[in-house]
Structure 1
Amino acid sequence: MRFSKKPKFKKTRRYFNKLDTLDPKRILEEYGRIGVKALSAATPNDTGETSQSWSYKVEGNRERYTITWSNSVQAGSVPLVVILQYGHATKSGYFISGVDFINPALRPVYDSLVHRLRQEVLG
């Protein structure tokens, strides 16, 4: 006597069909805007110009996406936020230490984004 059963993989097929319809760009656009707000709030504020000059860009295709946050304010040829973040030397030879404001501002955004994408994928 012989028994045989052909697997249907119903749950597996449903999972992969859901992945096929997933649109991560929509979610990344949302989190790009959230990141801009977080960076604006965290940027050291003297005149307000730098904190209001954040933007983001989402690029990619169905296989890979990137979010890039940038700030348009320059100090000479260097983005001012780089100087604020990492510090700089002065003409008199002193060093002004930077303030790590970018990483703490974006950490909760990254964490929330990972959670949201995981929910979208796993249901």
Structure 2
Amino acid sequence: MITFRQKGDFSKLTRYLERAKEVVKLGDLDKYGREGVAALASATPVDSGKTASSWRYEINNKSGSVTISFYNSNIQNGVPIAIILQYGHGTRNGGWVQGRDYINPAIQPIFDKIANEAWREVTKL
């Protein structure tokens, strides 16, 4: 037979979890969204500059979960230009234009900042 005894309550755990839930406020995400758009715009390979200036972000708060998403609206003939710059594309004469990983290195520092700030807030007592 296994028995468990518990003394006290879970108030500290409850407080910790409530604090964790509210860690990154929407205003902070708005700041990070603007930083992310600036980082993506400056890292985007430039020909006309249209792709670089077409970045935007959205913050969605649903079911206790908050997400920040980045989008690029430069689409030519149904082709998202930011994606073919990232991954490469075929040419009309059968050639291949190699992609360049510019999105991940540009946005990773922003994600790191969000994670670090969240961790600092959660571990504050």
State the TM-score, normalized to the length of structure 1: 0.83
User: Which residue of the partner structure matches residue 16 of structure 2?
Assistant: 15
Inter-partner Cα distance in structure 2 for 1:58 and 1:65: 7
Which amino acid in structure 1 is aligned with residue 86 of structure 2?
A: Q
- Does 2:24 correspond to 1:26? no
Q: What SS does the aligned partner of 1:52 have?
A: helix
Question: Which shifted more, 27-36 or 14-23?
Answer: 14-23
Q: What SS does the aligned partner of 2:53 have?
A: coil
Gaps of 5+ in 1: 1-5
User: Which residue of the partner structure matches residue 121 of structure 1?
Assistant: 122
Inter-partner Cα distance in structure 1 for 2:18 and 2:65: 18
Classify 1:50/1:17 alpha carbon distance in 2 versus 1 (closer, same or farther; 3 Å): closer
Q: What SS does the aligned partner of 1:96 have?
A: strand
Inter-partner Cα distance in structure 1 for 2:44 and 2:22: 37
1:12 deviation in Å?
Answer: 3.9
CA-based RMSD: 2.1
1:24 deviation in Å?
Answer: 2.8
Q: Deviations over 1:76-103 (max 9, x none)?
A: 1121001100111011000111000000
Alignment: residue pair count: 119
Question: Which shifted more, 20-29 or 102-111?
Answer: 20-29
User: Which residue of the partner structure matches residue 86 of structure 2?
Assistant: 85
User: Which residue of the partner structure matches residue 110 of structure 1?
Assistant: 111
Q: Is the 8 A contact 2:24 2:117 kept in 1?
A: no
Classify 1:20/1:38 alpha carbon distance in 2 versus 1 (closer, same or farther; 3 Å): closer
Inter-partner Cα distance in structure 2 for 1:20 and 1:64: 9
Question: Which shifted more, 21-30 or 77-86?
Answer: 21-30
Q: What SS does the aligned partner of 1:32 have?
A: helix
Q: What SS does the aligned partner of 2:94 have?
A: coil
User: Which residue of the partner structure matches residue 44 of structure 2?
Assistant: 43
Matched-pair identity in %? 39
Inter-partner Cα distance in structure 2 for 1:17 and 1:66: 18
